[in-house]
Structure 1
């Protein structure tokens, strides 16, 4: 067979494979827009789209879904209703979230706002050093750098003291983590594993990442937020430095739900359950709902989490996100909030860490400005925090980005807190952040060169996988 014949045969095989993959995409992709985009690309340009589809196209997995839903079914609806009956009226506007999540608000939290990486890891390391029984620790990213090695040493010291230590990291998020880092922890008595939705590794699967950041010490002190374990989160790696991020410390009954979220992920990976220790009695004033969302949920729970929070706003909605790629539901909720007279402000980065997402975000920002939403770009460095402030009493802090990966492809976790004093702390933090930002106008898009504007529109075509 001649070389031209081989090339022709290969092209035919690629087109057949592309058509088969397009049929798979039509049957399995979560959204009509995503299905259409994949099907069109696979059918017409299989040379370009077939390999990306192997990594990004799969949208279903079964084992984790079964386990996850079975865990939720064990929650008693009667118990949920009885807890809801004791929630103040200010929380009732979020009652739909409790039904969707199979979870409830817990009264009596003591909350501490951790405004940056230094404050966050100082608090986490202090808590770990005082651990007596058990440490649960989960991050999307662990790096083998100064902060990562400090974390490694802290966990080894507690394991040597007889404390049970359970650690999870995401296999793709921590792809650069060397094996010797993990082996050193295991040899020192730390139980540590990578998370994946399939127990057998699939090198063609980049979706369904576990983006959660959870630390629980002795069952009563918990941490959740946007920071990972790496020097860049302390602002030590230009060009994105200084890094702006936020975490939350929780002391109270809601920490039990952080443990449960970790336990479901741990059981899937190992087939075993870590200890579930009782939290301390309620000593604070805040009501907290732990929202653990992900693609295993029957509903698109992360998108609905944002939508519910936006719809609850009567006077103010301030939101910070590193990636502003809203879906139609969230964008419609934001538009309606403006029409209700709500002060809607969104803080996004001025510097890109992912250029395609940054371009798409810029176009979405232009659309938002046209809808009356005020958009600001944070100037000193990269802003990575995921914070929502609703009116004068509600603040959310967690790992959820405002993009399709968080909405539909990643496992996320956030704490929704109803407490005026804590909301005031968040307001002061965000006032400082907005004070370091520049408000965006329509001119950012209009005065961009034509090719850059074209790149923005092309980037937005990839919204379903951004």
Structure 2
């Protein structure tokens, strides 16, 4: 009995010593003060519960990866991007007239890419429309297909995609397939093996090139990209799985949005894929651009200006957070945001409050169903704080809302993979496409107005009338906001 107490005492002392060491490490290396405080307090107070999560989620552990990724990205952007990309030219024309010269300069500075004119963009509402368009485009491919998803399932939809890609490879079409090693952790090895045997080049995205680092839950590649022949590109919120078609009864009907693009902006999307492919494989693939005399869009009158913003944890600036801050600051009439996860940082929270003070119609659309308990509880507290600040928060009733859309005033809209949370701001690789065009903005507005018809507005009673234990759970969940 004495031995057991001695062992327990030794364990407690060792845990607290290791917790204090890890807390010092977090304070010295975590990039944000919120993250440093959250880790330090939890590691000192509860080392038994937080030491193991810190191994998985402590971002400073992978600072070497960030440095290496940043260096390679800078070299790749210097030598591989099209010579026609001139971000200075973006400060004139329709984007500047719509958003203002200063906003355009800031956004192009953040992205490292210019606004490009002459594009056609259309929304793809929900999974049936999205995958019908993607599979049709792949089936029509003549030269190459680039595919990248965060989650890939070996189910009916995943099987359909696999068979189509193998069929295209058999026709001589080059197929490159990139999937995230953690997001697709349950993807059977036989799925990739079948694609490899069928002539598809397939690789996992992992921060350690030699093997999948199972202690690595941060720095996930959350992008969803499909590019066909350099002529058509798709980005948005859908992954590959039947749940994105409404196959999960608990979350069905699934509400999500993708976009299809044609025109010069496809080269920007393709370049983002090439950056990720180069990191995963150490190979720089060459893809011929579409012929210059080939029309980029179905209608010669289409002249949408588009900008790709691709935040990553290797950015010198916190591109994801700053993109949302600048988009909110640019709004003069309205800023409508849809996001499945509402965990904004202080900069975004302040920008939203200031927008309300300017008289801007600020609305945020979030789910009423949860897929992650901790994030959902933290979101409730942030929703309460935003409602108190004058932001209108709406919860979508029918099913799980997963779309990531930003509507700015009457002529600007962004669609992509980034959520309004710290994970998208700082820990994930994301992609957003900002489009300047009155007709496209009207299309997005009509889509969101249909969504608002199936919502209820959140008021202060959601927090005030919650039982005491639920309010405590909200506050505890918010402690983890830097990694949610």
Q: 1:56 deviation in Å? A: 0.3
Match of 1:176 in 2: 186
User: Residue 312 of structure 1: which of 317, 320, 330 is its match?
Assistant: 330
Match of 1:253 in 2: 264
Alignment of 1:37 with 2:44, yes or no, is no
8 Å contact from structure 1 (residues 212, 413) kept in 2: yes
Q: 1:196 deviation in Å? A: 1.3
8 Å contact from structure 1 (residues 386, 397) kept in 2: yes
- Stretches of structure 1 that go unaligned for 5 or more consecutive residues are none
Match of 2:136 in 1: 126
8 Å contact from structure 2 (residues 86, 113) kept in 1: no
Alpha-carbon deviations, 1:218-270, whole Å to 9, x = none? 01100000000000100111110000000000000010011110001101111
Alignment of 1:224 with 2:242, yes or no, is no
Alignment of 1:12 with 2:13, yes or no, is yes
> TM-score, structure 1 length as denominator?
0.97
User: Residue 70 of structure 2: which of 59, 65, 68 is its match?
Assistant: 65
> The residue matched to 2:425 in structure 1 has which SS?
helix
Match of 1:460 in 2: 478
Match of 1:148 in 2: 158
Distance 2:91 2:324 in 1: 21
Alpha-carbon deviations, 1:382-427, whole Å to 9, x = none? 0000001111100100000000000010000010000000111101
> What are the equivalent positions in structure 2 for 1:38-437 lying under 5 Å apart?
38-59=39-60, 60=63, 61=65, 62-74=67-79, 79-88=86-95, 89-91=97-99, 92=101, 93-200=103-210, 201-279=212-290, 281-282=295-296, 283=300, 284-437=302-455
Distance 2:147 2:84 in 1: 29
Alignment of 1:23 with 2:2, yes or no, is no
Alpha carbons of structure 1 residues 337 and 77: separation in structure 2 relative to 1, 3 Å: farther
Distance 1:262 1:389 in 2: 25
8 Å contact from structure 2 (residues 150, 180) kept in 1: yes
- Stretches of structure 2 that go unaligned for 5 or more consecutive residues are none
Q: 1:21 deviation in Å? A: 1.4
Q: 1:281 deviation in Å? A: 4.9
> The residue matched to 1:94 in structure 2 has which SS?
helix
Alpha-carbon deviations, 1:90-140, whole Å to 9, x = none? 253332010122111000111111011000000000000000100000000
Q: 1:73 deviation in Å? A: 4.3
> TM-score, structure 2 length as denominator?
0.93
Equivalent pairs counted in the alignment come to 466
8 Å contact from structure 1 (residues 64, 198) kept in 2: no
